[in-house]
Structure 1
Amino acid sequence: MGEVSLTIRGYQGLVISLDPAEVRGEGSAARPVLYLPLKVQITSIPGQKGPVSYTLLRLAGTLGISPNDEIAAFELPPLADVSCPRGYDLHHGVNVPLGHAVIRRLEDVRDGKDAQLSIRFSALVWYPPDSSFVNVASPGPLQLTVPRSTWADNVLSQWGLSLVKIVEIKFPANQAGENFRAAYARVEAAEKLYANGLWKQTLAELYSAFEDLAKSLGFARPDQQFFVSLLAEFPSAKKEKAKLALAYLCDFYHLGRHEPEKESQPNNLPFILRRDARLGLTLAHAFFEYLTPEQ
């Protein structure tokens, strides 16, 4: 649970908290939105003659990927919440619009790990003793760690994982046969693995997608013979090139199952990297759209 306080006339009046398990993605792949369910504890502050109430009129903030790197801003609709001596909790959900470039940057920083969010708040209150409006701000950011499983399941999945679909590609699942739909379910499972930073497993799952399709059509593996059957209606010259491209792609996916033991990347990096998994996912979406029979 992340928490931050805002002081009013030197006293803690507002306490804002956020449960990382409740953060979720909303909107669509075209217009992704990050939903933040805020809990605001509002309490009257001490005065010379007892507790002094005030009215919360405005609450806004910025979202960052680090305390000094802001990526988006947000503001709640106008408020009129009056404090009381015992205090009470307000529940305000805020939608933070995020563009594709922002999501790409956020994901590059996350790199398959937990999502680290840095949120700063500002507020406008009406303070009766002075008959004045008072602007207050959090002294520091609310630091929130969203577990990568929550981020993958509740945020990225709601956006359609558009971060890995560079080109608008729509798989025509409603037109495909059962064997193609089952294979495409493997691609969706690979997206989950990618979101959780499992690069090798992503490639292995993509290989399984083509392998399952091959076996459902009576072939032992996704080899050139299998792809020739899928491309039977293509002109011979185009069929030959497409067959080789698909066969080489499956060889690339097969690294997820049996990566070379004696080869390694410079600087002791893993053999299979994030960019490998990203390339594999992008091509899988394109090729499945390309191969799905038209009806």
Structure 2
Amino acid sequence: MDNVNWTSVLHFVLLGISAHPEEQIPLFLLFLLMYTITVLGNFAIITLIISTPCLHTPMYIFLSNLALADICFTSTTVPKMLQNIFSPTKIISYMGFLVQTYFFIPFASMENFLLALMACDRYIAICHPFRYPKILTKMLCSQMLALCHILSHLHALLHTFLMGRLIFCADNRIPPFFCDLYPLMKLSCTSTHLSTLMTHTEGVTVISRALACILSVVLRSPSAKSKGTAFSTCGSHLMVVALFHGTLAWVYFQPLTSYSVAKGRILTVMHTVVTPMLNPFIYSLRNGGVKGAFR
């Protein structure tokens, strides 16, 4: 495309989930309910862990941070989507797009890092149970959490910087309900090779780490019975990893040219709204410590 056809985009139009007016009220009520459940459910997990001394262990410290990341993660997108459902313009400014991109990415990255840390925690607890308290000390947990926050924000700064360098064409309509990376890159008139490469490289590294730790726990167990115990212990964590990373992999680990707006919209709802809502129930229903603390 020639430079003369490029335009300076001052705002984007978020097309949302549906363009049918009769679906606006049901969609608003549905997503408001899901957002409320997400916030209350994860806040209950945080409150429970803080107020229960027996849950002040590395696993539950990581879980409380995951619950906080879930609240922040879904809060960067859903309130704006609820506002836009009844808005006649559905506009987000260019600066608003950069701000939303920056705050969306670190909380998504934080979830990835925390899931990897929780997998490592289960690996040490099952494969080295007697050395567990000496390996995962409070100091080490604090350092790992601080490193997660630092890496997540550096990751967000990098992607926001790369997105800020893109030049967008005249079409400023974004199919989903927030400034997602892939739909934005499809609107760009300039090369998105570096942004795509960074997304694929970092995503594969973090996802493979979490899955590798879980598989190591199961495969290194000496007997069939211990393998079953290990799989049962890691079951809830494996469900969360499969839900969150499965939808992320389907959206972001495909060539940009083959990205489907329709499928992307559904999977975006899955990993931004549904998964954060389900996480508290998955860990509550399958975790003996959490169920005991609730009782």
Under a length normalisation based on structure 2, what TM-score does the superposition of the two structures give? 0.34
Larger-Rg structure? 1
Of Structure 1 and Structure 2, which has the larger fraction of its residues in strand? 1
Q: Report which structure shows greater RCO (CA 8 Å, sep ≥6).
A: 2
Of Structure 1 and Structure 2, which has the larger fraction of its residues in helix? 2
